[in-house]
Structure 1
Amino acid sequence: MNRSFKIGLTGGIASGKTTVANLFSDLGIEIIDADEIAHSITSKQGSAYDKIVKHFGEDLLGHDNELDRKKLRTIIFNNSELKKDLEQIIHPEIHSIINQLTLESQESYQIIVIPLLIETDYQDFFDRILIIDCSLETQLERLMDRDDETIENARKIVANQIGRGKRLKFADDIIKNEKKTSIETLKEKVLQLHENYIELAEKVQFQD
């Protein structure tokens, strides 16, 4: 039975994960995005919605009875225990959905984008881990430009994630994406990895 070769794509906030994933998508590669799954299961019709409302209370709901995601982010950002509670609700469901999608895939390889791949100890699920890396300076600048964050909040957001050095220890492949990195440079690197992943996937299929 053929199986899809699984590439876990991760990186710090504002490192450029979506940009790189889109470049793989342009090459026809199937992308699974954990953030999109999380948004789906926490919507009003989602499987995690009732559990979250029960745990965090109805004050978290907006006028349309959807979760007020900004309010939820503020709550978990300032309370590590509540952050763990939320993760225990949604991460098992996200992982279950990802597992099912990979089993159903007919592609030679897939890119699975998971911002908290290392933090949730999910690395053993993947055949290879691709980390999008950039300096703290670049992260802070992008957060301030993209999300209109203050420098103080931007620093807190970055500090709330696993350290850059620890994350890089799990990398099989690394794409550097600094503020001066051109899209052409990223495309070249993605194409190189794409060709390598196809070759690796073929070897796995042959062994299976």
Structure 2
Amino acid sequence: MDSARPRFSVGLTGGIGCGKTTVANMFGALGATLVDTDEIAHALTAPGGAAMAAIDSEFGREFLTPEGALNRPRMRALVFSDPGAKARLEAILHPRIRDAALAQAAIASGSYVIFVVPLLIESGTWRQRVTRVLAIDCDEAVQVARVMTRNGLTEEQVRAIMATQVTRQERLAAADDVITNNGAKALLEPQITRLHAQYLAFSERMSRLPVERL
């Protein structure tokens, strides 16, 4: 494919506990290239990560672990209570996440690229970088129960996290495609198979367009 030609891409998003990783991995097994912004963020904030010097300078040594990684519990408590701190952290992380994600996509060899972006709608910028938005949806009761089981949090804590994200209705309104994930993995397979076929067709169609029309 011409390196100057944009390629078909999907922005996969969903609220906490909706099953984004499960769905993304199933698309990956079908041949899509996955670019996971959470994994990139973890790498940036690991010991020696590319964001750690800026975080140290902006927030101080108390927000680092003894090993030099981001002290996630302490930072989480700060940004939940201080919107200004949240904005400062995002100003450090978001440009670096974006650049790393686009660099990964540029060398992707899969049929198409799926960017896994939990806060895609909230960011306000990712929508312009992907061809389609795919929302993973589930009932709120299922969402809360999954996160309580997985993370050992109370219902109040889970709902506090959910309150920092866009509402389910806003996410669905922003999506081009929706996968419902309320139950067993077997219920996901036909939905993913159908969308994968559509995405392959979209990708093929995009690859045939003259460059000047893209």
Mapping for residues 35-54 of structure 1, pairs under 5 Å = 35-54=38-57
* 2:157 aligned with 1:153: yes
Give the TM-score taking structure 1 as reference length. Answer: 0.94
Distance, in Å, in 2 between the alignment partners of 1:32 and 1:182 is 25
Per-residue deviation, 1:3: 4.1
Question: Equivalences for 1:1-208 in 2 at 5 Å?
Answer: 1=2, 2-121=5-124, 122-178=126-182, 181-208=183-210
In the comparison of the two structures, how many residue pairs are matched? 206
Work out the CA distance in 2 between the residues paired with 1:88 and 1:62.
21
Shift of 1:107: 3.0
Q: 1:164 offset after TM fit, Å?
A: 1.2
CA distance in 2, matches of 1:42, 1:151: 28
Give RMSD over aligned pairs.
1.3
What SS is found at the alignment partner of 1:9?
A: strand
> Which stretch shifts more, 28-37 or 97-106?
97-106
Task: Give, in angstroms, the shift of residue 21 of structure 1.
Answer: 0.6
Change (3 A) 1:36 1:42: same
SS of residue matched to 2:97: helix
Residue type of the alignment partner of 2:165:
Q
SS of equivalent residue, structure 1 residue 161: coil
Given that 2:48 and 2:68 are in contact with CA atoms closer than 8 Å, whether structure 1 keeps it comes out as: no
What percent of counterpart residues are identical? 38
Q: CA deviation at 1:105?
A: 2.4
What one-letter code is carried by the residue in structure 2 that aligns with 1:195? A
How many Å apart are 1:104 and its aligned residue? Answer: 2.4
Which ranges of structure 1 fall in alignment gaps of 5 or more residues? none
Structure 2 gaps of 5+ residues are none
Equivalent pair of 1:4/1:107 in contact (CA under 8 Å): no
Alpha-carbon deviation of 1:204?
0.2
CA distance in 2, matches of 1:66, 1:88: 18
Maintained 8 Å contact 2:33/2:109: no
1:21 partner letter: A
- The secondary structure found in structure 1 opposite 2:149 is helix
